[in-house]
Amino acid sequence: MILRYLTNLKLAKELFDSAKPKLKGDQTMKDTFENVFGLPANSVPLAGAIEALSALFFVLSFASKKLSRLGSLFTFAVLGVAIVKHFEAGHGKQGAKHALDLTGLAALSFLDTFNGKQK
Q: Which residues of 13-49 are buried (b: 16+ CB within 10 A; e: fewer)?
A: ebbbebbeebbeeeeebbebbeeebebeeeebbebbe
Q: What is the C-alpha to C-alpha distance for residues 59 and 79, in angstroms, rounded to an integer?
A: 18
**11, 40 contact by CB (below 8 A):** no
- Say what the pLDDT of residue 118 is: 59
What is the pLDDT, as a whole number, of residue 9?
97
Q: What are the pLDDT digits (tens) for 54-106? A: 999 999 999 999 999 999 999 999 999 999 999 999 999 999 999 999 999 99
Question: For residue 116, is pLDDT > 90?
Answer: no
Interval 26-62: pLDDT, tens: 999 999 999 999 999 999 999 999 999 999 999 999 9
pTM: 0.90
